Amino acid sequence: MGSRTHQPFPVALYAGLVVALLGLVRPGPLRAVESVAASVALLPLRAWAAVVGPRPGAAAAPAEARELAGERVTAALRQLERAASRRPAAIPVDWWPVVARVVDRRGPGEGRTERLVLDLPRAMLGPRALDSVTRDGTLLGFLDPHGLPPTDADGRPEPLAGLAQVRLVDDAGGPFGPRRVPVRVDAGERGSFEALVEPAAPIDRWPLRLAMLGDPYLAAEVRQGPFAVWTSGLEDDPLGALPVGLRLGTLRVFGYRDGPERALVIGLYVEPDQRADALAFVVLWVADRALAQRAQRAALDARPLAGGRLDEVQLLRLDVAGATRERWLATCAGAVLRPLPRGAAVVDGERLLGVLDAAGLGSGVVAAFGQPGRRWSLTLVPATAERAPVELRARCVARDGDLVTLAADEPPPVELTRGAQLATGGDGPDLPAFVWIGPVLATDGARFVVRHVDPLRQPPQAWVHTRAAGGAAR
């Protein structure tokens, strides 16, 4: 019998699979290689696009519609600024609000955000900023005393260096470990008890847990709320003063239920009122009115795409298999080697068309908004000026022509969705919040239908938005 001519167990392939598994968990180092390789692999398609691809034509949405959308978005931003900056009773009157846009959310993985990067240089605020960061009277986290460092944990240059950063209450990885928050829990008729709130374990159902209970006997008797959890403050807190009376969230009981009145409590948790992975804006507090006004002007421009770079691209439709069905090859109309970042917004004026899914030098592949399976951070702008915009996370379920069906993680109130407009909620530095998507047409519980122009109908004029380099966007 002759020798075998193939290797039955290919070790190199198995090693490749292990590397891919590591790349799945920690994608950073492979992303740069993938970007360059994708640029080269897309060269034949670029050549094809140069021969047969469409030239930029008339915009698919009428100019009046885009102008109207721009006005609505500007008005909505002002609504949000007014609503978000209402002073909670816990904040002293000599502190002034600064509404800041969230430019990036960071954490150990999808669905778990521990830090928010704000579109505001940290140096601008100086030492006269309160370290508690709020939104609608709720404590979200603490302002980092320093801006983002010039390099990240892997030693690569940090594109958002110098920007202010908020460590959420559930961030366990701060420079001094987690910051525990003293709280008071209103347990209904049974009275109230004091406790400390600290980050929960990743396996826990809620991100915060109660520890060091002031009255363990009362805590053991607590039933499922809803009971509010408020900051209580400590005298001589070594980490700085904490406003008393800010809401933190809702008490949640984890344990065994034994009838309506009995339960074996295993743990007490806090569910935050605000979902950090949906937040597009937060409120900082500054002890100087003039500084607050200056910072506010720098932090919140009415035009979400202002200050960034817009590269004109040509789009070529590509049929792809799977649920997505189609993609668009975007080719830079000007500089052929312009680096286009993954995750950048592809826009037509003020309107979102999609996002760059695979990107490289001078070209990329665009996933249009509405392709099934993709999750988005969104902002719902109510029709009435009295209601403030609401941020939410939603997954695209289906697309039928111009109509996109989305399923929200938490159903938005029906009165908010009626006649509302949908805009982005920000997904990374190059896809800012408040880029217009389209009007909401119908709602059914957590599902709602949005009219979004079908790029298939007419190849639109498109631009790729890239955030300006450096800490200050504008």
- Give residues in contact with other proteins (CB under 8 A): 1-2, 4-10, 12-17, 20-25, 27, 30-31, 33-34, 37-38, 40-45, 109-111, 318-327, 357-358, 365, 367, 371-375
Beta-carbon-side half-sphere exposure of residue 359 (alpha carbons within 13 Å): 20
Tell me whether residue 263 or residue 365 sits nearer to other proteins (CB atom). 365
Q: Compute the least distance from the CB of residue 12 to other proteins, in Å.
A: 5
Q: Compute the least distance from the CB of residue 385 to other proteins, in Å.
A: 34
Q: Compute the least distance from the CB of residue 470 to other proteins, in Å.
A: 27
Tell me whether residue 30 or residue 287 sits nearer to other proteins (CB atom). 30
Beta-carbon-side half-sphere exposure of residue 98 (alpha carbons within 13 Å): 35
Tell me whether residue 25 or residue 266 sits nearer to other proteins (CB atom). 25
Sign of CA dihedral 218, 219, 224, 230: positive
How far is residue 387's CA from residue 412's CA, in Å, rounded to a whole number?
Answer: 13
Give yes or no for a cis peptide into 226 (omega within 30° of 0). yes
Neighbours of 5 (CB within 10 A): 5
Tell me whether residue 27 or residue 445 sits nearer to other proteins (CB atom). 27
Q: Beta-strand (E) ranges in 320-461?
A: 326-332, 345-348, 351-359, 363-368, 375-381, 390-400, 403-408, 421-425, 433-444, 447-451
Taking a C-beta distance cutoff of 8 angstroms, is the pair 448, 417 a contact?
yes
Q: Compute the least distance from the CB of residue 363 to other proteins, in Å.
A: 10
Taking a C-beta distance cutoff of 8 angstroms, is the pair 464, 340 a contact?
yes
Cα–chain center distance at 327 = 24
How far is residue 346's CA from residue 108's CA, in Å, rounded to a whole number?
Answer: 27
Taking a C-beta distance cutoff of 8 angstroms, is the pair 378, 74 a contact?
no
**Of 356, 425, 364, 429, nearest to 159 (Cα)?**
429
Tell me whether residue 37 or residue 50 sits nearer to other proteins (CB atom). 37
Tell me whether residue 8 or residue 175 sits nearer to other proteins (CB atom). 8
Q: Compute the least distance from the CB of residue 311 to other proteins, in Å.
A: 19
What tokens appear for 94 in the block?
Answer: 């000599």
Find where tokens 């109509």 sit.
403
Q: Compute the least distance from the CB of residue 419 to other proteins, in Å.
A: 29
Q: Compute the least distance from the CB of residue 22 to other proteins, in Å.
A: 8
Q: Compute the least distance from the CB of residue 242 to other proteins, in Å.
A: 32
Q: Compute the least distance from the CB of residue 437 to other proteins, in Å.
A: 17
Tell me whether residue 9 or residue 256 sits nearer to other proteins (CB atom). 9
| R_g over Cα of the chain | 25
Q: What is the DSSP letter of 298?
A: H
